[in-house]
Amino acid sequence: MRGTARRLGVPGGVAAAVVALMLLAVVAPGVLAPGDPTAIDPAGAMQAPGWGVWFGTDESGRDVWTRVVHGASSSLGVGLAATAIGTGLALVLGFAAGLGPRWLDVGVARVVEVLYALPTMVLALLLVAVQGPGVAASVLAVGLATAPGYARILRARARTVAGSGYVAAARLEGRSGAWVLRRHVLPNSLWPLVAVVTLGIGQAVVWVAALSFIGLGAKPPSSEWGAMLNAGRLYLTTSWWLTVCPGLVITATAAALTVLGRRLGRVAS
């Protein structure tokens, strides 16, 4: 454990602290912001950031800091859900292509390559256009759009592990295919994917927020970060904090997950 922490280094430690803070906001938002995110105070509307109102207030007098903290469960939740969908589909496609017969590998690989050639956000927009706007649609769209990238990584890793010397030795010893899969292929194929999925969560948070920002995801007055950006853009020239503060939180979350994912990738290698 200490060796892993040492290999993460200072940037990785800072990123882990930011991620831990975000997780605290998800599981216990009242610790960081004990107020009510829906409480309105027309007399205190549009206050600039200052003492007691760290992120200012919005047009209804709601505290932006409180809304950002309580919105972490929505924003990170949809990011995690989208990543889980993408990873789940990638496990099926990646292992089917990497461990299946040649014809299945060729077929799955061609489909994945075509989908991977499309930018993730473009593919997500196409899927949302088919399904219709909404939180569920944006989560499903981002999840499906990220699956090809994960599947390519998993396919390549599974094929490498399946062709390794220790797998060949296990088969020569008479081990069953299920035993080899459970003991060698799965652990050595999935662990490197952990770092990539950590990166993917941050990307999914940004993409889902982007869909909400353009009106295809969560709708105001939701405290989801993208929806807050969408609501605050109307006041960008007069009340910058309504967009800048949620935007900074999105950036910090994505950056922390990116740094942590890269550090985990180095540990895994």
Question: In this predicted structure, what is the pLDDT of residue 8?
Answer: 59
Distance CA 85, CA 158 (A): 20
Work out the average pLDDT over 112-140: 83
Q: What is the mean pLDDT of residues 55-78?
A: 92
Identify which of 224, 36, 229, 37 has the alpha carbon closest to the alpha carbon of residue 136.
Answer: 224
Which pLDDT band, with edges at 50, 70 and 90, does 221 fall under?
Answer: confident
Q: What is the pLDDT of residue 74?
A: 87
CATH ID of 77-192, from 3.30.420.270, 1.10.3720.10, 3.40.1710.10, 2.40.30.10: 1.10.3720.10
pLDDT of residue 132: 81
Tell me the C-alpha distance between 175 and 245, whole Å: 57
Q: 131-171, pLDDT tens digit by residue? A: 888 888 888 888 888 888 888 888 888 888 888 887 888 88
When pLDDT is cut at 50, 70 and 90, the band that residue 268 belongs to is low
Every domain of the chain and the residues it spans? 77-192
User: What is the model's pLDDT at position 228?
Assistant: 92
Specify the residue for token string 């709708």: 219
Mean pLDDT along residues 87-106: 87
Q: Which residue has the tokens 């829906």?
A: 38
Q: Radius of gyration (Cα) for the chain, nearest Å?
A: 22
- Model pTM score: 0.83
Q: Output the CA–CA distances (angstroms, integers) from residue 80 to 63, 118, 203, 214, in the order listed.
A: 26, 22, 10, 21
pLDDT at 6: 56
CA distance 35 to 235: 24
Among 76-90, 122-136, 172-186, which range has the highest average pLDDT?
A: 76-90
Which helix (H) or strand (E) segment is 76 a member of?
Answer: helix 72-99
Q: For residue 173, give both structure tokens.
A: 């010893």
250, two tokens:
């999105």
Task: Write the DSSP symbol of residue 48.
Answer: P
Distance CA 7, CA 29 (A): 31
Cα three-residue angle 136-201-23, rounded to 5 degrees: 95
Cα dihedral 216→222→224→228 (10° resolution): 80
Q: What is the pLDDT of residue 23?
A: 92
Q: Does residue 70 contact residue 33 with C-beta atoms inside 8 Å?
A: yes
The DSSP result for 79-90, as a single string, is HHHHHHHHHHHH
The span from the CA of 136 to the CA of 189, in Å, is: 30
Q: How far apart (Å, rounded) are the C-alpha atoms in residues 196 and 174?
A: 34
CB 196 within 8 A of CB 206: no
Burial 199-219 (b: 16+ CB within 10 A, else e): bbbbbbbbbbbbbbbeebbbe
Amino acid at 243: T
